[in-house]
Amino acid sequence: MNKAQFLQEKSAFHMTYPDKSDLAFYRWFVERHPDLAIGWYHLGREREMRNEIDEALAAYRQALHAKHGPYSEEAAAAYQDLLRKRRRGLWAGRIRLLLASLLFFHAQFAFSPGLLSEPDKAASTGAAFTNGKNASGQERPHVEVIAVPAGTDGKQLRHHVYDYVSGRRTALKQPYTVLVVPEVTGAPLFTPLLFYRPGELHGLLRYDPVSRTVLSQQWFDRPCACDQHPAVRTAKLQLAEEQRTLEHLLILRSALYRHYQRKGSLPQKLSDLARSYPGNALPDIPPTPAWYGATDWAYQPAAFRREAAWESMRHVVPLRGYPEPSVPLAPLQIHVHLDSHAMTLISGPHLVRRYPIAIGKNGSTPAGYFSVLQKISNPRGPDDIYGTRGLIFQQNGYAIHGTNHPASIGQSVSLGCIRLHNRDVEELYTFVAPGTEVIISAHAAPVPRWANPAAFVLPAGRDEETPRVVYHWLH
């Protein structure tokens, strides 16, 4: 795609969505054309102008991994230029920090009590901790998963990973762990795979972003699960905890955003998202983690801003304990890939889940842009053919639903509906709210293989069923 065609796409987007920003277009474009450098380059420029440095670098890196084309060289130059700018900023920041430290120690020696003075116990304990918790918020062990190119030798691999950690997460103030996994076809390289469950590893390292040093590392001669290694076992458990927390926040934020789109305002309280049918945006409110310190999520609707509806969700339901992803989350979308008999649940550039599906025979599943209209638990139909959950995406009989014929998954056998295994449709029903986009195309799934994290399903209540309705979907 050349520049003129790109600008035509941009003009058509803004004509269709006049209230959307250029940033929204660039994000929309790279979702649909992840292999074109031109989109990633412009997304990087937009992020850079907004002073979102980590996000800009991530976009430029994606352009470098895309196939060579218009703006590939420009993206490489912009990436290197921004790295140089950030290094200069880091040195300036270090000098300011050094001066501030000297002033601090001078004040400590000038005004501190004598050596025999009794320290203020209330100040030394109560100021730093409240009920045994850090007053600035609990910091949980942060773990990242990154994929590296196939065929990279050990020395070169370690060099690339060192470059990755030294150039990322400068805002993070605690050591974190990086799990290095073999290349996942279609997934970005050297970019955190937030919702990928690592199997085999090339290695792992622990990095301190403050001192910019590698604290520990373990590399393996060949990729292995290596679960017998204590550091690997611990890191995988910590990753699973962080992924579950992110999933819960993403479910809530996405449901709130869709509620705003449909109703024009946010609900008064989170529990309003879990009403009976047809107001069942969610089956229930995801539970807070055991370490969270409260049974309810922090919900701050006063922080919502209409002009930045999605962006303000990070303040409406803040993420505690972990850093916000450097490549931001986005509202959940369902993508149906007809040629691959696959469905992906995505959040902007992040793949959250991948499911095998059955579709309509003879091209009867419609391609296009739809949205979830209703969610039904245990939908009634002849011989329970619709499985345990149903999500209607078009009123004239099209739905995403479970099945009592699991052997049909992976085939083109229905009259137009999309079938999933019951366990998968129950998870999808948990994640998505009415208003969630359903994008159906003949394109193959961009990531042919993906390891989903452990399943997360919220039980649906009886008030989400419609026992008096018999559905006649195009099964």
Long-range contacts of 297-301 (CB under 8 A, 24+ apart): 297/252, 297/270, 299/269, 299/270, 301/266, 301/267, 301/268
The CA distance from 202 to 192, in Å, is 15
Residue 173 has which token pair?
């103030």
From the candidates 142, 259, 401, 421, which is the catalytic residue? Answer: 401
The burial class, CB within 10 Å (0-12 / 13-18 / 19+), for 273 is buried
> Residues near 15 by Cβ (< 8 Å), separated by ≥ 6?
none
Residue 467 φ/ψ, nearest 5 degrees: -65, -20
Q: Which residues pair with 205 in a beta bridge?
A: 178, 217
Residue 449 φ/ψ, nearest 5 degrees: -135, 135
Residue 106 has which token pair?
């001078």
Amino acid letter, residue 202: H
Residue 160 a catalytic site member: no
From the candidates 226, 259, 335, 417, which is the catalytic residue? Answer: 417
The CA distance from 418 to 439, in Å, is 12
The CA distance from 97 to 105, in Å, is 12
CA–CA distances in Å: residue 460 to residues 213, 278, 473:
48, 13, 21
The CA distance from 143 to 83, in Å, is 23
149, 190 Cβ separation under 8 angstroms: no
Task: Give per-residue burial for 181-218: e unless 16+ CB within 10 Å, then b.
Answer: bbebeebbbbbbbbbbbbeebbbbbbbebeeeebeebe
Residue 197 φ/ψ, nearest 5 degrees: -95, 110
460, 390 Cβ separation under 8 angstroms: no
The CA distance from 471 to 397, in Å, is 8
Q: Which residues pair with 389 in a beta bridge?
A: 377
The CA distance from 182 to 222, in Å, is 10
- Do you find a cis peptide bond into 459, omega within 30 degrees of 0? no
Residue 472 a catalytic site member: no
**For residue 349, which of 80, 79, 67, 55 has the smallest C-alpha distance?**
55
**Which residues carry out catalysis?**
401, 417
